[in-house]
Structure 1
Amino acid sequence: MLDDASSPTPQAVTVAGSTAAHRLQPLLHDLVSTVLAPTVALSGGDGQIRPAGVQGVFHADSRALSQATLTIDGREPEAVGHAPQGPGATRFVTLARWLGDPVPDPTVRIERFRQVVPGGMEERVEIVSSATVPVTAVVSLEVGCDFAPIEVVKSGGDTAEAAPERTAPGEISWRSGGVRVAVTGTGARAEATEPTEVTGSAESTGYGRTGFLRWPVELAPRGRVTLSWRVEVRDPQAVVTAPDRPAEWAVGEGEPRVVTTDHRLGRLFEQSMDDLRSLRLAETAAPGDAFLGAGVPWFLTLFGRDSIWAARMLLPLGTELAMGTLRVLARRQGTKIDPGSGEAPGKIMHELRRHDFAVEGNNLYLPAAYYGTIDATPLWIGLLHDAWRWGAPAGEIAALLPHLEAALGWLGGPADPDGDGFVEYVDTSGRGLANQGWKDSGDALRFHDGRRAQPPIALVEVQGYAHQAARQGADLLEAFGLPGAARWREHAAALAERFRARFWVDGPRGRFPALALDRDKRPVDALTSNIGHLLGTGLLTAAEEARIADLLVSPEMAGGFGLRTMSADAGGFSPLSYHCGSIWAHDTAIVVAGLARAGFATHAATLAEGLLAAGETFGYRLPELYGGDDRAALGRPVPYPAACRPQAWSAAAAVTVVHAALGLYPDVPGGRLLLRPLAGAPLGAVSVRGLRVAGAEVSAAVDRGGEVVVTGLPAGISTERAST
């Protein structure tokens, strides 16, 4: 998800030998994120928030603090380590080696315990001395605020420090429009600098003003002192807020826990649950309906596709998040034709911002409520169906059936503008997203020889989503006594026939579905991960699924740490391309789930093991994406430098892998739970508590022999072992 400010392109940088300058998106991979949505702090590994790149404290798409640097007697402490401490919390450890005893070992240590809360951040600074002599110093915190919109930061646009509104005892504050930011230090003296011109830096923007909090500190031998400060943001313009209740899976003794013979899966699950709790959001006007913000920092808001996929992947933990996500998107379902926003009757939106999203130096212009997505609508139908199967309350499902009928109406009408029977897109505004599937960068869709495909585009996975949505929509209509089920089953059958005739192509390893059809209805013949999303949609025969399964674990596709977005032998392949050779955790997990349900246990385990290996190298916080280099190249994945982290569907990937290992597939309306664990338990023994079926807390375990045991099912649900 790139918003087509595609390449990691924030500072103005002059290219050698050129008179032109281009802006570079700030790098993220080495920053530390501390988040409790809708607020996030991004800093260096030492805890310092420096006035550069994307560092800062952000709240609801706007930067509240652009600087928070700590010094002791004018010198910055030296970093030695940091670690997450749960949702919204990080601890940083630094040293002041110039203080204390003149011995090789450090004797003055500084720990910053950072806690982000919705609308602010609190920090406790502990200075601990093991020296034999007293230590006297002045601790200073320099703070700045620029109110920079997230899209300006993302594109490398110019920003300028705002002047403090006022300085009161222990407090420095700023105001812009209706937004107010205040920094307060307990027991500190507050000062503001005078405006001075900033020179000698490529990042300079002219003038700036910062403020200081200062604390004189005296430590006795082997003494300690604790300082504290906080930032508070009052933002009545924010369109997102924190939900008004905790996550369904995070309440009481039912909080999910995983015990495995592969410690990597357990640790990945634990960190992912913390990250998922920290990414929960709600609309300001409806705090009771939670959804997941897509990712930190660029996409910490409602994204149709991303929020739907993440909620779908988390259904084993309960249906509350799914129902909240469905309701939020239903309230903003399209009602009219608007080429500028991409809105159409029945269509599910792509993203929600506090204002229009315009990128400096780029033709991209997205309205605050933007509908430029081809897949969110069928995916919304799929989430509604799956939530029903997992036991969401029938009344809540019934309340959304008018929106289901509207979404099906879009699927059978505006989704196919030229009437050829395939779902396709084109940006008629000329200023929206050129590509509108999940691979939405401008260069994502390429033929095998590397040529770019031209719109209108009919994506391969979207035909699978549409086929599945038509069938699942029919099931819902029939179950709730509404007309139209036969029509949508016929629609699905006709789509499958057309797909088989038009999409399959020949490649070096045999036949496979093309990535897309281009504007001339030619198959875009690159081998990509997109075809893995067809598994389980009903669009393929068993033999076709087996063919695709083998291709997905070929060395060209699975030679890295997970599933490559594009085959390594394709002309457009690049391991650090956003969508043409990189590896996305959610993409790999979706394919793992499809392989597992179709009975391809070894294939699923091959891709899942890649995710576990990657998770270990990233501290068990999987980023949005990473490089698709061969495993032998470095022995660890190469970070994608501008990847979001944490990111909702990447964190949800851990739940998907656990679910695939267990193989629990409920049909609560039908009164059964199908058991299809990975044959042979290739991921080892897995035991999970805190799953939920129809609201009941359920435990499940699969042993090394692949036998699964489920306890806690609600009355009326029987288990059934799937045939192999």
Structure 2
Amino acid sequence: MLQPLLHDLVSTVMAPASALSGADGQIRQSGVQGLFRADRRVLSLARLLIDEHEPEAAGHAAAGAGRSRFVSLARRLGDRGTADPTVRVTRVRELTPYGMEESVEIVSTASVPVNATVTIELACDFAPIEAVKSGRATGVAVAADPSGEGRLSWRSERIRVTVTAPGAQVLTGKSPRLSWEIALPPRGRTTLTWALAVDDPAAVVVPATGPLEWSAPRVQADDRRITRLLDRSLADLRSLRLAEPGAPGDTFLGAGVPWFLTLFGRDSLWAARMLLPLGTRLAASTLRVLARHQGTRLDPETGEAPGKIMHELRREAFPLGEEDRRLPAAYYGTIDATPLWISLLHDAWRWGLPAAEVEPLLPHLEAALGWLADHADPDCDGFVEYIDAGGRGLANQGWKDSGDAVRFHDGRLAAPPIALAEVQGYACRAALDAAALLDAFDRPGADRWRAYAETMATRFRAAFWVDGPQGPFPALALDRDKRPVDSLTSNIGHLLGTGLLSAEESARIASLLAGPDLAEGFGLRTMSADADGFSPMSYHCGSIWPHDTAIVIAGLAREGFGAEAAVLADGLLAAAESFGYRLPELYAGDAQDEVIRPVAYPAACRPQAWSAAAAVTIAHAALGLYPDVPSGQATLRPLPGAPLGALGFGGLKVGESDVEVTVSGDGTATVTGLPGGLRLHR
């Protein structure tokens, strides 16, 4: 069966609820359309009719976090003999964490009275998200229970869905309907409302409580794309906030809508890391949530191991669309979440996370290091590697986790166990970060992990670097036989700043990242166009992922490769403009001289947490403020020459201080509001 497509749907989100509809606002019984909450479809049909006809769509737009507005026309009503429509229908959809509310405003500019019957057809199928994703969902409605005037409900297992509609008559039949009779005088208007509420005590995720975990930035930019992208992205991030039932105050970001609106180790960690310039609270709570799920035992079926950080959390097992391959509800099949957890703890500490919040996490840091030492390298060759030991989980366990993601230059698939290039970088960086934390908090083992990082860098240089048509570069991975998987990919950009590279090697990688075979699209391609395995519409072998590009932009900027960072940032901003400033999970890697705008990847999630967080990374790279609160220092290194134009950014958070950085059109930067005693280096 084929996975349903998403690219032409409108998503409205307030986690853990999300609604996907057509551009006209109608929710139809097809594909992935519906209202979902915590991995269940709780509404599979919501079709608005006026006198048994669908209004004709005129436009739609986001109306803030969790709100969408749809405008349509009822051209069969109102004045006759004029080309202008005289009856307009505005449907405002607002999601809450526990359901959805809609208002339908009907406005007449006609010179005659308008009388009509307005109905909304409804259905519920309680389809699990995994069945919808695989194309197996039938869309068969569960019987509705009329429960009084203007009320009806559905029940399945422990979930109850209730609809209320003031003033409406409930009509039963194949699909229940809400029905209103309206009578508008000339130039009259009326508003109809209905709401849906979900009671689901078995959900594994709940809405986050408490104030927003990050600051509201004050931004002025010559390039208006930056402000528009930030505004839309921060609204989306606000709508993706989640928590667990037992700890509603510890927020994390759900990975993406609709497939991944739950806890994802790698995604949630990266998104929190990208948002560090706006505060450390999200990072701290994400670290705590994942620490509570840290592995304690060896289990080949779930991938769990002592000290390992979880990959994803579900209500129940999640089929992969392949025979006998199902991810367990609590799944640990990720090779990179554990070192990324360590580095997020370190980076949050540098940005000012108080010692009182760091110290309770240090035992989890030491457990994560235990996994790195005892379980991450099963064949003891010195590299971190993975294999799906249970045979029913993910074949690939880095961020490029599709089954065909790890390919040689000639297109052949690599056989596991696989040691990914960027994962060695993450491990090296985690070792150095852990050493700094162990020293700072008077705990043993720092020298061991500095030596680990040094040895890893030497070993990586000998095993991973290969020669290609454009000269030397790090291979994508080592395969089962320790052969370098010789594709040129975006993975090498994740090595910047990890401690694996010399200055000369960093410069070499920067030049490759900015080359046409990787960077001629709207961002950074996941694989070079020169590779035989390249396809611009491949999930991981030629497409462009905004978060991947943003990670590389951050590494380039911090390492001093401003021109290369600016090229990639401009590509992302151009893509953002084409996608209405809501960057999707990924899009096609076509060259900019071949298409006037990026081509959508039809099954991409949107919004996606780390894609939205990329907006903050772009702005931060342009500003170049790098604080180190524990050492009492901060570095200011904006992109030279302000390639993205003048930028003023207030609301950066260094510790508890509100900091503002301004970069002028010539690249001169100023900073105000740094915490007292913090020395600034330019």
TM range (shorter): over 0.9
Contact 1:565 1:579 in 2 (8 A): yes
**CA deviation digits over 1:35-84, x for unaligned, max 9?**
01000111011100001000000000110000000000000001010110
1:186 aligns with 2:166: yes
Aligned to 2:234: 273
Aligned to 2:305: 344
**CA deviation digits over 1:364-401, x for unaligned, max 9?**
21111100000000000000000000000111100000
Contact 2:214 2:280 in 1 (8 A): no
> Which residue of 455, 458, 463 maps to 2:416?
455
Unaligned runs of 5+ in 1: 1-22, 194-208
Aligned to 1:474: 435
Measure, in 2, the Cα distance between the counterparts of 1:289 and 1:431: 31
Measure, in 2, the Cα distance between the counterparts of 1:433 and 1:151: 15
Aligned to 2:107: 128
**CA deviation digits over 1:336-359, x for unaligned, max 9?**
000000000000000000112135
| Cα deviation, residue 266, structure 1 | 1.0
Measure, in 1, the Cα distance between the counterparts of 2:6 and 2:298: 38
The residue matched to 1:64 in structure 2 has which SS?
strand
Measure, in 1, the Cα distance between the counterparts of 2:421 and 2:145: 54
| Cα deviation, residue 361, structure 1 | 5.3
Aligned to 1:258: 219
1:610 aligns with 2:571: yes
Aligned to 2:212: 247
The one-letter amino acid of 1:245's match is: G
Unaligned runs of 5+ in 2: none
1:71 aligns with 2:49: yes
Pairing 1:620-659 to 2, within 5 Å after superposition:
620-659=581-620
Measure, in 2, the Cα distance between the counterparts of 1:148 and 1:334: 31
The residue matched to 1:248 in structure 2 has which SS?
coil
Aligned to 2:392: 431
Contact 2:438 2:444 in 1 (8 A): yes
The one-letter amino acid of 1:695's match is: E
The residue matched to 2:391 in structure 1 has which SS?
coil
The residue matched to 2:256 in structure 1 has which SS?
coil
| Cα deviation, residue 360, structure 1 | 5.6
The residue matched to 2:117 in structure 1 has which SS?
strand
The one-letter amino acid of 2:205's match is: V
TM score, norm. by length of structure 2: 0.99
The residue matched to 2:383 in structure 1 has which SS?
coil
Contact 1:293 1:648 in 2 (8 A): yes
| Cα deviation, residue 247, structure 1 | 1.2
> Which residue of 56, 62, 71 maps to 2:40?
62
Contact 1:257 1:270 in 2 (8 A): no
> Which residue of 153, 156, 162 maps to 2:142?
162
1:43 aligns with 2:8: no
Pairing 1:591-606 to 2, within 5 Å after superposition:
591-606=552-567
Measure, in 2, the Cα distance between the counterparts of 1:272 and 1:360: 31
Pairing 1:272-421 to 2, within 5 Å after superposition:
272-359=233-320, 362-421=323-382
Measure, in 2, the Cα distance between the counterparts of 1:363 and 1:166: 40
The one-letter amino acid of 1:173's match is: S
The one-letter amino acid of 1:129's match is: S
**CA deviation digits over 1:208-243, x for unaligned, max 9?**
x42100000111100000000011000001111111
Measure, in 2, the Cα distance between the counterparts of 1:257 and 1:456: 47
**CA deviation digits over 1:440-498, x for unaligned, max 9?**
00000000000010100000000000000001000000000000000000011011110
Measure, in 1, the Cα distance between the counterparts of 2:212 and 2:678: 25
| Cα deviation, residue 714, structure 1 | 1.7
**CA deviation digits over 1:641-666, x for unaligned, max 9?**
00000000000000000000000101
The one-letter amino acid of 1:329's match is: L
Aligned to 1:96: 74
The one-letter amino acid of 1:191's match is: L
Aligned to 1:235: 200
Q: What do you get for the CA RMSD once the two structures are aligned?
A: 0.8
Aligned to 1:12: none
Aligned to 1:222: 187
Contact 1:167 1:190 in 2 (8 A): no
The worse-fitting range, judged by mean Cα deviation, of 494-503 and 692-701 is 692-701
Contact 1:152 1:359 in 2 (8 A): no
| Cα deviation, residue 249, structure 1 | 2.6
Contact 1:249 1:690 in 2 (8 A): no
The residue matched to 2:94 in structure 1 has which SS?
strand
Measure, in 1, the Cα distance between the counterparts of 2:322 and 2:75: 45
**CA deviation digits over 1:484-519, x for unaligned, max 9?**
000000011011110000000001100000000000
The one-letter amino acid of 2:192's match is: L
1:543 aligns with 2:504: yes
The one-letter amino acid of 1:180's match is: R
Aligned to 2:631: 670
Contact 2:146 2:170 in 1 (8 A): no
| Cα deviation, residue 170, structure 1 | 0.5
> Which residue of 66, 88, 113 maps to 1:109?
88
The residue matched to 2:374 in structure 1 has which SS?
coil
**CA deviation digits over 1:300-319, x for unaligned, max 9?**
00000000000000000000
Measure, in 2, the Cα distance between the counterparts of 1:145 and 1:695: 47
- State, as a whole percentage, how many aligned pairs show the same letter: 68
Aligned to 1:203: none
The one-letter amino acid of 2:46's match is: A
The residue matched to 1:546 in structure 2 has which SS?
helix
The one-letter amino acid of 1:683's match is: L
The one-letter amino acid of 1:134's match is: P
The one-letter amino acid of 2:679's match is: S
TM score, norm. by length of structure 1: 0.93
The residue matched to 2:195 in structure 1 has which SS?
strand
Aligned to 1:567: 528
| Cα deviation, residue 257, structure 1 | 2.3
The one-letter amino acid of 1:586's match is: H
